[in-house]
Amino acid sequence: MIDEIFSCPIRKYNLNNDSITNCFTNIYDKEKFQQESPFTFRLTDVDSFTTQAYVDILEEFVKDLGLGDTHVGIISDVILCVLEKDEVLGNCNTLPSHYTATHYISGNDADVFYHPARSLLTLCTPGLDEWGSATSLYVNEGDVIVHPSYLEYNTPPVKKQRVAATLLISVQEKE
């Protein structure tokens, strides 16, 4: 299978910040008995100190794309996801945002990314191994992976609790 047809700019940054960890841990502790498992919670209010750390990464990311002089990255949504041992997160994408940042706050079980043409290409080769068109990255706690939102991804069973924040990002022209 040819899966190098479309290039996908995926970037990896690192953000170890106790205030972010505390912010998301407090939200989880407050909401964990109100949500079904696996825990996914859309945040409506994140303090500006916490988001500033992500803004710094977004500025670097937009520069990496070569758009630093003309565009900015804007966080439109933040979703907290906590998976307990052996839990999974099914296939998803985060369209219509442009990019998605996943911050691995604790735990280092990475997501698996699928090529955007996987569904079309598997029609032609129905016996294709499901993982043949997938790839994962090695991640550490604190890593932030930024990828195009059209990439499908899922999380295989985690080995221990994993706390991750997903940020939906739109790239807009500066005014």
In terms of pLDDT, which residue wins out, 49 or 55? 55
- Residue 106's DSSP bridge partners are 163
Task: Please name which of 46, 10, 11 lies closest in space to residue 27, comparing C-alpha atoms.
Answer: 46
Residue 126: its pLDDT value, please? 56
Tally of structural domains, the chain? 1
The answer to whether the bond into 156 is cis (omega within 30° of 0) is: no
> How far is the C-alpha of 74 from the C-alpha of 58, rounded, in Å?
8
Residue 112: its pLDDT value, please? 84
Q: How confident is the model over 40-49, as a mean pLDDT? A: 78
> How far is the C-alpha of 79 from the C-alpha of 43, rounded, in Å?
6
pTM recorded for the entire structure = 0.85
Residue 170: its pLDDT value, please? 92
Q: Which domain holds residue 29?
A: 11-173
For residue 26, the domain's CATH number is 2.60.120.620
- The answer to which of 78-82, 89-93, 121-125 has the lowest mean pLDDT is 121-125
**Position 1 in a domain:** no
- The answer to which of 56-70, 87-101, 103-117, 138-152 has the lowest mean pLDDT is 103-117
**Position 2 in a domain:** no
The pLDDT of residue 36 is above 80:
yes
Among 8-12, 45-49, 134-138, name the most confident range. 8-12
Residue 40: its pLDDT value, please? 93
